[in-house]
Amino acid sequence: MTNLVKNVTIPNGFDLNSCGQESQPEKSLSLLERLQSVSSEIKQKAAQKVVFTPPIISRDGLPTIKRGTLVGIQGRFGSHKSRIGELFCSVVISTLPQNDTKHLGYSKHPLERIVLVHIDTERNTKEELPQTIQSIRKKAGFNAFAEVPDFYYTSIKTIPRAKRLEAVKEYLEYVRSQTDGHIFCVLDVLTDCVSDFNDAKDSLALCDFLNNLCENENATIVGIIHENPGSEKARGHLGTEFANKSSTFFQIGFVRDGNGNDTDVIRLRYLKVRSIKRPNSLYLTYSAEIDGLILAPSEMLASVEGSTRRYDANDIAEILEDYLTSTPVSQTDLLAHLKAETKLSKNPIMERLAEIERKGKDWVLHDSSGAACYLKINRLTGKATTYQLSPIEAVETDQ
Q: What is the CATH number of the domain that holds 366?
A: 1.10.10.10
Let me know if residue 115 belongs to a domain: yes
> Sorting pLDDT into bands at 50, 70 and 90, what band is 6?
very low
What's this model's pTM, rounded to 2 decimal places? 0.80
Closest CA to 182 of 233, 115, 117: 115
The amino acid at residue 162 is A
Closest CA to 121 of 266, 243, 238: 238
Write out the residue range of the structural domain in which residue 296 sits.
57-305
Let me know if residue 28 belongs to a domain: no
> Sorting pLDDT into bands at 50, 70 and 90, what band is 352?
very high
> Count of domains in the chain?
2
Mean pLDDT of 94-119: 86
Residue pLDDT, tens place only, 118-154: 999 999 999 999 999 999 999 999 999 999 999 999 9
Under 8 Å between Cβ of 283 and 301:
yes
Mean pLDDT of 6-15: 41
pLDDT of residue 80: 94
Same-domain check for residues 203 and 301: yes
Let me know if residue 387 belongs to a domain: yes
Q: Where are the beta strands (DSSP E) in the chain?
A: 57-59, 62-65, 70-75, 106-108, 114-120, 151-155, 182-188, 219-226, 248-256, 262-273, 282-287, 292-295, 329-330, 365-366, 372-378, 386-391
> Sorting pLDDT into bands at 50, 70 and 90, what band is 32?
very high
Whether 371 shows a pLDDT value over 90: the answer reads no
Answer with the one of 269, 289, 305 that is the final residue of a domain: 305
Residue pLDDT, tens place only, 224-251: 999 987 777 888 889 989 988 999 999 9
What distances in angstroms separate CA 158 from CA 123, 155, 193, 346, one per listed residue? 11, 8, 12, 53
Let me know if residue 161 belongs to a domain: yes
Same-domain check for residues 264 and 334: no
Let me know if residue 4 belongs to a domain: no
What distances in angstroms separate CA 242 from CA 8, 122, 140, 198, one per listed residue? 30, 19, 28, 12
Could you tell me which residue, 78 or 159, shows the higher pLDDT? 159
Q: What is the 3-state secondary structure (H, E, C) of 260-275?
A: CCEEEEEEEEEEEECC
User: End-to-end CA distance of the chain, in Å?
Assistant: 43
